[in-house]
Structure 1
Amino acid sequence: MNVTKFVPIVDTLRTYDKKNFRFDLIAALTVAVVALPQSMAYAMIAGVSPAYGLYSAIVLTIIGSAFGSSHHLATGPTNAICLLISSYMAAYVGQGNFFATLFLLTFMVGAIQFAMGVFRLGSLVNYVSHAVIVGFTAGAGVIIAMGQLNSLLGIKLPSGHLSSIGKVIACFENIDKTNYVALGLGLFTIAVILICKKINKNLPGALLGIIFSVVLVMVFDLEKYGLKMAGNIPTAIPPLSMPNFSLEAAGDLAVGALVVAIIGLVEAVSISKAIASRTLQKIDPNQEFIGQGLANMVGAFLSSIPGSGSFTRSAITYQNGGKTRLTGVMVGFIILIVLIFFAPYAKYIPNASLAGVIMVVAYSMIDKKAVAKVLKTNRNDAIVLVVTALTTILAPELEDAIYAGVAISLILYLKDSGVASVRTLTPVQASDGRFVEQEFNGQRSISGEQPISIIQLEGNLYFGSSADLENKLNNAFNDAKVFLIRFKGVGVIDITALEVIEAFINRAQSDGRKVILSGVDAKLYKMLEKMHIVHHIGEENIFMSEDEVFASSGKALEEASSFVRSVNYSVQERTVQA
């Protein structure tokens, strides 16, 4: 058994290039600085102590990075998942077994995700198109920036959950309460990042901006100006915990666990694919499912709440030069070290500086070249991108954007696939079966002096396109003596489409015309047999597809020409006798 396939970190360690260590460490330090206050905030959204967010940021990040597919995905507490946790755990608040039940939810989420990976259901995410990913990424960048506006301005928001748009509205309503010291620190951090990028792209601008901000806060005692800081961080390692393994509790949490698991996977894989579109890394969705599942299952025994891939922290990993999955592993250990040794100093991190870092990351998440390419290349993809981006920004839940994008993609696909590809061909030389292809223009075809009418069917023919196929075949019916129906690359054909073709054949035969089929593969031939079409037109009039280009059509055309000659000869003979 290939261990590296199921434990990717083994292969990473075995082939690790020491040159990457500096990049991985710098990225890990930057991510850890952001993850500390962010994880605590998300835990509070979930309705638990900030400490549990930090425990999750340690355990889930290490396990998810070690066993997942992506080099850049940062696993841990996320906004959407924590909101769901709060909803599903509301009934247990105040009960003595609250945390044991919460850790059961974490375990169940992981078990569902792990099972989906083992049973190789990762292909489900293939239905998330590139346009959806680009739109989702762009929209996520916008809402991340919107969500940090109040921290950048140092404005305290009203209590209660607010959407990203709600936060922006609240900021403008309270713009007169802007803390200019906080705004100054945030803009200073952004300036440091941009200057570092101008000097050398490898400089850890975000990390330097945070460090300089902490120094300014401590030297000039800026806290007295009402700055909101990261706050006190608990100095403890993740304690062991035991989930409440009871059938009753598992039954009550089953639906919630399934929803959290699926949404977590959609988030994780979407984020992984979004970053992989830039790094060109090949993502294995099944392995990512397994990595997310193991992270949550292990986390259940180490006081962790359910988590998923974080767009913010993953983007920071990529933007700050992280090269391998060791970045995520180091993030977990750095947070652990901070909890043990440096908690008193981490509290001096101003939220405005963190907001500055995240603002830059949010801007960089919008792949402007990819957006322009999608908008200019294909109308359907452009619609999908715009709908996904707007849904990401406007919908109450982040995952709604993925659902909307996939739904619009499928609707547009079905709309386009409802059009049957029917073309008319004109033979150049009957002896070798070469053709000049003429686009079918939807108007009634007129045979004129041409005794053979060649109709080419292409693509997938199924019930959705049967009405269009029937209309085009009716228009293709003319006064030709022979109809040669050519199947070119017809990958899928169902009984509804075959019935339309059978009706055309019956119409032609009842009018004394001959019908020949060419390019028929073995699978299609069996279907024609079962529908008795082979019996109706005769085996001699069906020509199987061959490796040689146009071989089948050439032979069919020879048969058609022979038939026309025989008919003409019979007509001439009857004329002479008369």
Structure 2
Amino acid sequence: MRQWFFTGRYKPYSLQAFQKDLLSGLVVGIIAIPLGMAFAIASGVKPEYGIYTTIIAGILISLFGGSRFQIGGPTGAFIPILFSIVMTYGFENLLIAGFLAGILLVLMGLFKLGSLITFIPRPVTIGFTSGIAVIIFTGQIPNFLGLTGVEKHEAFIDNMIEVVLNIHTVNGYSVLTAVICLLTVMYTPTLSPKIPGPLIALVFSTLMAICLYPGEVATIGSTYGTISGALPRFHMPEITFEKVQQMIQPAFVIAILGAIESLLSAVVADGMTNSKHNSNRELVGQGIANIVTPLFGGIPATGAIARTATNIKNGAVSPVSGIVHGLVVLIILLLFAPYASKIPLASMAPILMIVAWNMSERHIFIHLVKTKTTDSLVLVVTFLLTVFMDLTVAVEVGLILAVMIFTKRMSDTMVAEKALPNPLDKREKVASHVVSDSHDCPQISIYNIEGPLFFGAAQTFQQSIMKTVNYQPEVLLLRMGKVPFMDTTGESYLSSIVKSFSKHGIVFISGLNPQPESVLKKTGLYESIGNDHFFAHTGDAINAALLHLNKDTCLGCRHFAFRECEAFSKGQQPICEKEEIPIES
């Protein structure tokens, strides 16, 4: 167990390394505070729950995760799904969903499913990420403008209608506060690159609101009550079988989204540091964090790409920086929590809007749309469903659509063409372009089979071959050296061809690859065809096929498909008939 969690993640380690981790953890911890509160508020829960998540999940993900540099905590990607759960099921059930998601993540890691997450198509991830960004950005419009009387809804359209209906309640002081915060965040990196911009913007805009127009804008305290500076308390949610049944689908969405987000973040960290994370261990660490965090009132957490990148840029060398980041947030909570209640909601809005802008992947989105390919369709459909329906439907439909398109593409790569040895080639390489009405053996049909023989292409394969059965040649030779994969559907169609053709002729197969061979042996088709009907090389298969010709049929034939045909046509035996024909396999 010790080897599973710790080997290689802290070695080598020194006092100098600790100093670097301490500095980077301090910087990231300061950045994480306003983000944690903002994500919690946008998710429909109290701001302190975001801080609790930052502390507990941040420390546990660093302790048990699979990346040396990963920073965990609440993220913007979770906002739409968490808000939807809170609106539909309530906060208590959100904790249960987070707890179940943690269990699912641990199981995904233990069953080594980490690598499977990478198979989710990029248009799907870009589509729902961009959709989430739109939801986050537009969701902050009421706070930016200081609108009053706005009711929160699950549906994007309903929330936009609320903005329009209440636009007359715009608060000029809120707009001024938001603009001050926005400009500060934008220009702080230029003026003071070492100090986190969101923190400076939050403090500066809050002081301006307190000093210049006190009581004129809504604050965290006036909306959600005073933030407690006490430690989070342990609370076991009431988990029943009925609630598990009710929350398992939201939990699954949280788990999948958390897995995608954390592993994407880990991949980004690998690229920045030339390191390699352990994806399965990362899922286990994420799972442990999400099991424990809800027991203290925290919301679901995952790897945070922006904070992880900041961690690396500030010199982090090990997971100690992530642990320090959690401890820094804990200390600040204990010492300064009451002051956070004075932060205007208008100051939080620009920070979340910038987060949404940065996570929107707008350049990649525009690029994919401009390609006007099937990937563009998957991207747009996933994006629109994320915005106008919900994330669950978007991911499900996006994946199904991507799989269907992929299946169609793979089926289009399946080639089953008649072929013969090319007499103009020194090695008499078998090719399809040499077959014509006047040059095609009536007794031996050779087919080049190329591409995976699976459920999406099997029918096309069968239809191409079965045309040959109609004129009943003596031998059907299938060259399968370029068939890398076969599933049971492909085997079933091949079996149908073999049974139909075997009624009047013989089936030979050459160049069979290991995976298709294994399938044929498991199903018994290999034995049914006969071991002596399989050949490593096409030349050997043709030699065997020539022995089964009806020589009377060859008399007078002018097709001359093979080198022996001229002699057969005259009723003679070809010279050196028993020599191996040097046809390329």
Task: Compute the TM-score of the two structures, normalised by the length of structure 1.
Answer: 0.78
Deviations 1:217-270 (A, max 9, x none): 3432x33333434652112112344566xxxx5323322453343222112122
Deviates more, 1:367-376 or 1:322-331: 322-331
Establish whether residue 228 from structure 1 lines up as the match of residue 214 from structure 2: no
Q: State how far apart, in whole Å, the 2-side matches of 1:183 and 1:540 are.
A: 83
Matched-pair contact (CA < 8 Å) for 2:452–2:485: yes
What is the alpha-carbon distance in structure 1 between the residues aligned to residue 28 and residue 216 of structure 2? 31
Does residue 342 in structure 1 map to residue 336 in structure 2? yes
The Cα shift of 1:4 comes to 5.7
Q: Using a 3 Å threshold, how does the CA distance of structure 1 residues 121 and 331 change in structure 2: closer, same or farther?
A: same
Paired residue for 1:572, among 570, 573, 581? 570
Q: Which runs of 5+ in 2 are unaligned?
A: 550-561, 574-585
Match of 1:158, SS state, is: coil
**Alignment partner for residue 55 of structure 2, among 34, 58, 76?**
58
Cα distance between partner residues in 2 of 1:498 and 1:104: 45
Look up the equivalent residue of 1:370 and give its one-letter code.
I
Q: Quick check: 1:450–1:480 contact (8 Å CA) kept in 2?
A: no
Query: In the TM superposition, what whole-angstrom CA distance separates every residue of 1:304-333 from its partner, at most 9, and x where no partner exists?
Result: 2452338xxx35425756555556544433
Q: Distance in 2 between matches of 1:499 and 1:109?
A: 39
Q: TM-score, normalised by structure 2?
A: 0.77
Find the residue that maps to 1:136 and give its secondary structure: helix
How many residues of Structure 1 are paired with residues of Structure 2 in the alignment? 539
Deviation at 1:487, TM superposition (A): 0.5
The whole-number CA distance in structure 2 between the counterparts of 1:199 and 1:458 is 61
Residues 319-370 of structure 1 show CA distances to partners (whole Å, capped at 9, x for unaligned) of 7565555565444333322321112322332222221122122112122343
Q: Whole-Å Cα distance in 2 between the matches of residues 534 and 568 of structure 1?
A: 35
Name the SS of the counterpart of 2:230 in structure 1.
coil
Letter in 2 for 1:465: A
- 2:447 partner SS: strand
The whole-number CA distance in structure 2 between the counterparts of 1:482 and 1:490 is 20
Q: What displacement does 1:418 show?
A: 4.4
Shift of 1:479: 9.5
Is residue 391 of structure 1 aligned with residue 381 of structure 2? Answer: no
Q: Equivalent residues in 2 for 1:467-506 (5 A)?
A: 467-475=459-467, 483-494=476-487, 496-498=489-491, 500-501=493-494, 504=497
Secondary structure at the residue paired with 1:333?
helix
> Which consecutive unaligned segments of at least 5 residues does structure 1 have?
91-98, 440-444, 545-551
Equivalent residue in structure 2 for 1:449, among 439, 455, 474: 439
SS at structure 2 position matched to 1:520: coil
The aligned counterpart of 1:81 is 82
CA distance in 2, matches of 1:262, 1:280: 27
Query: How far apart, CA to CA, are the structure 2 residues paired with 1:346 and 1:417?
Result: 56
1:149 aligns with 2:138: no
Residue 154 of structure 1 contacts residue 228 of structure 1 at CA under 8 Å; is this kept in 2? no
Query: SS at 2:112's partner residue?
Result: coil
Per the alignment, do residues 110 and 540 of structure 1 end up closer, same or farther by CA in structure 2, a change over 3 Å counting?
closer
Find out whether 1:402 has 2:395 as its counterpart. Answer: yes
| Structure 1 partner of 2:196 | 204
Q: Cα–Cα, structure 1 residues 142 and 109, in superposed 2: closer, same or farther, change >3 Å?
A: closer
Q: How does 1:220-259 map to 2 (within 5 A)?
A: 220=212, 222-229=213-220, 232-241=226-235, 249-259=239-249
Structure-2 change in CA distance of 1:450 and 1:72 (3 Å): same
Counterpart among 275, 285, 290 of residue 291 in structure 1: 285
Listed as ranges, the matches of 1:314-329 within 5 Å are 314-318=304-308, 320=310, 328-329=322-323
What CA distance in whole angstroms lies between the structure 1 residues aligned with 2:50 and 2:192?
34
Offset of 1:518 from its aligned partner? 0.8
Q: 1:141 to 1:474 in 2, by over 3 A?
A: same
How far the C-alpha of 1:58 sits from its partner, in A, is 2.5
Q: CA RMSD in A?
A: 4.1
Task: Give the match for residue 269 of structure 1.
Answer: 259
Deviations 1:514-571 (A, max 9, x none): 6532112456456657888667876544213xxxxxxx23443555578656665454
- Following the alignment from structure 2 to structure 1, what is the Cα–Cα distance between the partners of residues 3 and 60? 16
- 8 Å CA contact 1:229–1:351 kept in 2: the answer is yes
Which of 511, 515, 532 does residue 519 from structure 1 map onto?
511
2:577 alignment partner in structure 1: none
List per-residue Cα deviations over 1:408-435 (Å, max 9, x = no partner).
2222233344443324445346774535
| Identical positions, percent | 24
Contact conserved, 2:59 with 2:322, CA < 8 A, in 1? yes
